[in-house]
Amino acid sequence: MYTHSNSNLYTRRNFIYDLSFNVGFAVLAINGMTAITGCANNEQKSEEKSKNEKSENKLGIALVGLGGYSSGELAPSLKETEHCYLAGIVTGSPQKAEQWKKQYDIPDKNIYNYQNFDSIKDNPDIDIVYVVLPNSMHAEYTIRAARAGKHVICEKPMAITVEECESMVAACKEAGKMLSIGYRLHFDPYHVEMMRLGQKQVYGPIKKIKADNGMNGTSGWRLDKKLSGGGPLMDLGVYCIQGARYTTGLEPIAVTAQEGTKTNKEMFKDIEETISWQMEFPQGITADCMCSYSKGTNLLRAEAEKGWFELSPTYAYRGLKGKTSEGDMNFKGVNQQARQMDDFAKAIKDKRPTPVPGEMGLQDVKIIKAIYKAMETGKRVEVS
């Protein structure tokens, strides 16, 4: 209950005003008596909603970090999921907490901040913690979530160092909890088709991959190397690395790389603005890749002995298009995030591995680090 700072002057009018202003309770006058029902009713509705979701055997997800991706994609997608639902949130902003509480009927007991996060271990409503924070915070909150007894989805890139990734994998294994990386494209039919065409060698053995991903500009923590771990390679390049890996079904054995020209030296003083790199795969396959914060581009193309196949746009949330040397790909658009989260929830319930485990994210970070080393030294670097 809200407590007035001067209890001697705290009148019935103050009491009603403070409650209506600070908490948004409904105040009803009944026979001259003031009855406060709004908070109790809202809380009861939230509790009933949570119980109904649980009774449908859905797993509860708590989103950690309520930035643009959580608010614009993940939370809305959780309205479409069949095996999981939005059960809780973790935020450092009281304003966001209140907004999300009202918008998504989240009970107070399922709202956490970064100081009391570890107490989430006592909440049976929450089965999965989805870490949607700046890259430098991924390791800490993944490890804390696992130690709290929760399964974890961590956004990409998994972390900013190989050692952090290894610690995340180890923590989840020690806790007996599953760790998945937010690789939504594995659940999009266009990318599933790229995997099929490449790995099944429908057009014969692949000879060359081309993967580009760029956008015109960025802002915020992504420009701070301490938070991001690097520039567009960390943010956008991981999609190109992933695309080459799952289209071929193979792992790169060595890389070379070149940093592009900086058009804004002040903005990109600590990180690359554009980077190009080449990956060598077994069987003589090569991948030419590029990512940028100043060039809009979106392509994944495979050239094989008997034809080619590509996606463009490739890495967007929706509106993907694909074609082959024989004609267009035609698939119905899907909610990538809903499919991703549903698959993880179902993997937990079915006690089967996730197709996008922590080990996959760990390998991508190893490749990223090799690319940065190649860029800095100008030498060919082998990938461990």
Is residue 294 domain-shared with residue 366, that is, in the same domain?
yes
> Is residue 122 situated within a structural domain?
yes
- Where is the domain boundary, 183, 207, 227? 183
Residues 111 and 191 in one domain: no
Residue 348 lies in a domain: no
Give long-range contacts, CB 8 A cutoff, 24+ apart: 171-175: 171/142, 171/143, 171/146, 171/147, 172/142, 172/146, 172/358, 174/146, 175/146, 175/147, 175/149
In total, how many domains does the chain have? 3
- Say yes or no: 24 and 128 in one domain: no
Tell me, yes or no, if 156 is annotated catalytic.
Answer: yes
Bridge pairing between strands 206-216 and 294-304: antiparallel
Task: Kindly state whether residues 253 and 158 are assigned to the same domain.
Answer: no
Q: Are residues 28 and 166 in the same domain?
A: no
- If asked whether residues 163 and 267 sit together in one domain, one would say no
CA distances to 60, 75, 239 from 311, rounded to whole Å, are 34, 27, 13
Specify whether the CB–CB gap between 251 and 382 falls below 8 A.
no
Q: What's the pLDDT score for residue 384? A: 87
CATH number at residue 84: 3.40.50.720
209 within a domain of the structure (yes/no): yes
Please say whether the beta carbons of 274 and 261 come within 8 A.
Answer: yes
Do 15 and 69 fall within a single domain? Answer: no
Give the end of a domain, one of 162, 183, 204: 183
Residues 191 and 325 in one domain: yes
Residue 2 within any structural domain of the chain: no
Helix (H, G, I), strand (E, B) or coil at 3: coil
What is the reported pLDDT for 21? 34
Q: Please indicate, yes or no, if residue 1 is contained in any of the structural domains.
A: no
pLDDT of residue 42: 59
Collect all residues with Cβ–Cβ distance below 8 Å to 330 and sequence separation of at least 6. Answer: none
Structure-token match 């179902």, residue found? 346
- A 10 A CB-CB count for 221 gives 16
pLDDT at residue 223, rounded to an integer: 97
Q: Which of 153, 183, 213 is the last residue of a domain?
A: 183
Q: Identify the pLDDT of residue 24.
A: 38
**What pLDDT is attached to residue 49?**
64
Q: Across-strand partners of 301?
A: 210, 310
Give pTM, 2 decimals.
Answer: 0.87
User: Which among 117, 265, 277, 125 is positioned nearest to 210, based on CA atoms?
Assistant: 277
Within-domain flag for 174: yes
- Annotated catalytic residue within 156, 177, 210, 369: 156
> 374 exposed, middle or buried (CB, 10 Å; 0-12, 13-18, 19+)?
buried
Same domain, 362 and 292: yes
| Closest of 212, 372, 207, 373 to residue 280, by C-alpha | 207
- Residues 71 and 164 occupy one common structural domain: yes
Which position among 104, 190, 239, 293 bears the catalytic label?
239
The answer to whether 289 touches 279, Cβ cutoff 8 Å, is: yes
Task: Give the pLDDT score at 40.
Answer: 54
The answer to whether the CB of 283 falls within 8 A of the CB of 305 is no
Report the amino acid identity of residue 51.
Answer: K
The answer to whether 128 and 345 are in contact (CB under 8 A) is yes
- The CATH number assigned to the domain holding 212 equals 3.30.360.10
Alpha helices in the chain (DSSP H): 12-22, 38-55, 68-69, 75-77, 94-104, 138-147, 162-175, 189-199, 225-228, 232, 238-248, 336-350, 358-377
* Rounded Cα–Cα distance for residues 184 and 256 (Å): 27
Cα gap 214→239, rounded to integer Å: 10
Could you confirm whether 293 is annotated as catalytic? no
Same domain, yes or no, for 169 and 102?
Answer: yes
Helices (H), 105-188: 138-147, 162-175
Question: Residues 77-109, buried b or exposed e (16+ Cβ, 10 A)?
Answer: bbeebebbbbbbbbbeeeebbeebbeebbbbee
**Residue 29, both tokens:** 């006058």
User: Is the residue at 346 inside a domain?
Assistant: no
Residue 351 resides in a domain: no
Q: Which domain holds residue 13?
A: 7-36
Residue with tokens 């999300």: 100
- Assign 277 to helix, strand or coil: strand
217, 174: one domain: no
Digit-by-digit pLDDT tens for the chain (384 residues) are: 223 333 333 333 333 333 333 333 333 333 433 333 455 555 666 666 666 776 589 999 999 999 999 999 999 999 999 999 999 999 999 999 999 999 999 999 999 999 999 999 999 999 999 999 999 999 999 999 999 999 999 999 999 999 999 999 999 999 999 999 999 999 999 999 999 999 999 999 999 999 999 999 999 999 999 999 999 999 999 999 999 999 999 999 999 999 999 999 999 999 999 999 999 999 999 999 999 999 999 999 999 999 999 999 999 999 999 999 999 999 999 999 999 999 999 999 999 999 999 999 999 999 999 999 999 999 999 998
